[in-house]
A and B are shown apart, each in its own frame.
Chain A
């Protein structure tokens, strides 16, 4: 298990290459990479700053990861979330899951990003040509997370 909050750019390709390297029991790795876009709601995005709540962030990510492991047979999980100021094109988050078969890996990966988006204390501040604005939570994210409630 690895959950990391990082303040500098990270390389998802290198992280994925190292994930489960050397293991021969893994039959499926699923991953999600979230990137900073240069447009949101018709406005140009110059940069994005991710604020978080140190301490609570790590605790909530570990809890979400434990929930995924309780629901699916996973060999390993990797969650990396960037904080601070970043530019369009840069990775914000990487979630990867490893299992024997694809269904568990794919479902667990979708679950992890859905719950992370609604249960981990991160906040996005966008810089636009008109100034900075805080991103509002979306109902569709709550709905995506709710489909995993049971």
Chain B
């Protein structure tokens, strides 16, 4: 699965994307956040602040309970600030 990071989250984690093999117990976006947090302490720090880290699964906004089955790409980013 491809993981992508944007804006200041990309800078905190130190990479814009990575390919990962998920353990079977990582089934939802919330599981993935915790699992990635164990690899990237600064990602875990950001996730600890409620509402700061948003997620998208295959280009659709996703909550923590969104299942990952069949997903190809998951992105994490701060609240959007365009326009």
Contact = CB atoms under 8 A, between A and B. Distances in A.
B83 A123 contact: no
Nearest to B79: A137
Interface string B38-63: 00000000000000000010011100
Interface size class of A (residues with CB under 8 A): 20 to 34
Interface string B1-28: 0001011100000000000000000000
B59 A81 contact: no
Given A59-B59, A123-B6, A93 B83 contact: yes
A11 B82 CA distance: 19
B79 to A, nearest CB: 4
A44 to B, nearest CB: 19
Contacts of A93: 82-83
B59 A123 contact: no
A121 B78 contact: no
B6 A53 contact: yes
A85 interface: no
A142 to B, nearest CB: 9
Interface of A: 34, 50-53, 55-56, 59-60, 81, 92-93, 113, 116-125, 134-137
17 contacts: A51-B6, A53-B75, A53-B77, A56-B59, A56-B60, A60-B59, A93-B82, A117-B82, A119-B61, A120-B80, A120-B83, A123-B77, A123-B78, A124-B81, A136-B81, A137-B79, A137-B81
